[in-house]
Structure 1
Amino acid sequence: MKAAELRQKDIAGLENEVKELQKAHFGLRMQKATQQLNNTGTLRVTRRDIARAKTILAQKQAEERAKSAAK
């Protein structure tokens, strides 16, 4: 998923996206453990997608805190 697509989501949407990506990554790890995963590169891609989503989520949460502190 591209960063631009993630930036369009709100905080709740990003939290949901992180949760879904973590579930997908867990499933891929289980497939790898049982020798069912053919393309191990997908593990790296999902791990990076999770990091990207968490980074944008943290940025948005920091913006919200800054807005509420300024009031």
Structure 2
Amino acid sequence: MELEKLRNLSDDELKAQQNTAGEQLFRIRFQKSLGNNDGIKKIRILKLDIARAKTIARERTLAAEKAATPAVVHTAPPASTRTARKKAKN
């Protein structure tokens, strides 16, 4: 399936597409083990479709996490208490 079509799917539709491709891949591998070599070329296409669906799902997850957590503001580390203790003893 084309990348743009996958990006336009909802999360549930994307998961269903991934499951469908997984089932087809299983059936073709099973047929291959029985000696039927009709759908061998389709294996690569199905594996790529599954990988694309997983990648888009992961991108969405990361985007949601990034939107939920505010950006961390980098501040200077706290001053060392070790040197302050040395000065206090003297």
TM-score, length of structure 2 as denominator length:
0.70
Q: What is residue 47 of structure 1 aligned with on the other side?
A: 47
Aligned AA for 2:62?
A: A
Alpha carbons 1:11, 1:61 under 8 Å: kept: no
For residues 13-62 of structure 1, the C-alpha deviation after alignment (integer angstroms, 9 at most, x for no partner) is: 21121111111100110011111231311111111111111111111111
Alpha carbons 1:25, 1:43 under 8 Å: kept: yes
CA distance in 2, matches of 1:19, 1:25: 10
Question: How many correspondences in the alignment?
Answer: 70
Q: What is residue 36 of structure 2 aligned with on the other side?
A: 36
Q: What is residue 12 of structure 1 aligned with on the other side?
A: 12
In terms of fraction of residues, the more helix-rich structure is 1
User: SS of 2:69's equivalent?
Assistant: helix
Alpha carbons 1:18, 1:53 under 8 Å: kept: yes
Structure 2 spans left out of the alignment, 5+ residues: 71-90
Change (3 A) 1:12 1:65: farther
Structure 1 spans left out of the alignment, 5+ residues: none
Q: What is residue 76 of structure 2 aligned with on the other side?
A: none
Alpha carbons 1:14, 1:53 under 8 Å: kept: yes
Tell me if 1:69 matches 2:55. no
Quote the sequence identity (%): 24
